[in-house]
Amino acid sequence: MDFIQVITNFQRNFIRDGMDSNEVKGAFREANLADLNYLMDLYGTYSESSMFYEQDALEELKNYTVNNTVIEFYRKYEPHNLPTLSGGIRLLALESLKVENASASPSMYLIKFGLLTIATTIGGHAICLDLNTENNNEPRVVIADQAFCSYNEDLDLVECVIVPDGVAENYADDEPIILSYSLIEQCLPEIAVSFSEFLVNLSLEKYENVEEDFLII
């Protein structure tokens, strides 16, 4: 996909909202190649930087690749000091993306299952690429409540905390709902069928309030 129109849309929005012309020009920039490696080498990045998983627990990341369309967007148009966008969404720069997926909840738990957080919301929820899927040759985009899953120290496992009633009813009251990709599929709402659609929607301000529209409040 050619992202020129998407960038033009964002810049138009920034100008309308009173952003300084120099800030508008610098809002998207060519990525540092070392930072781009945070997308191109998931295992190497997060096996070393994860604040939760040990290196051997992230072997699955060797099986995941980030689509070339996503790579090319960040290569040419890495977000840089962007304001909060429509819907209360913050697109992450590559260094912030690395920190989010290595140390923030729920992103640091989800990364093991091929969910890569690329944006957050005002309320601290995670917007993720689902690298297990491919629509139009791109990953779909889902949203995870910040309290979706957490580490249970007593049981030494990551359990799902906020799940739809239809999922919860399959478990006993005292039974932990252990995080898995199957549960991710059942629980996390899709907000765009592809990365490109997500960016187009965001640039056209189609997300009014992504938290209220997609999360269990």
Contact 195, 73 (CB under 8 A): yes
Residue 191 lies in a domain: yes
The pLDDT tens digits of the residues spanning 6-60 come to 999 999 999 999 999 999 999 999 999 999 999 999 999 999 999 999 999 999 9
Structure tokens at 163: 């799940």
Residue 67 lies in a domain: yes
Q: Is the pLDDT of residue 67 over 70?
A: yes
CATH number of the domain residue 71 falls in: 3.40.1580.10
Structure tokens at 61: 């990341």
Contact 139, 131 (CB under 8 A): yes
Residue 78 lies in a domain: yes
Residue 213 lies in a domain: no
Residue 217 lies in a domain: no
Domain count for the chain: 1
The pLDDT tens digits of the residues spanning 78-117 come to 999 899 999 999 999 999 999 999 999 999 999 999 999 9
Residue 216 lies in a domain: no
State the Cα–Cα distance between residues 21 and 142, nearest whole angstrom. 33
Supply the range of the domain harboring residue 106: 4-204
* Model-wide pTM > 0.75: yes
Quote the percentage of the chain above a pLDDT of 70. 100
What is the reported pLDDT for 34? Answer: 95
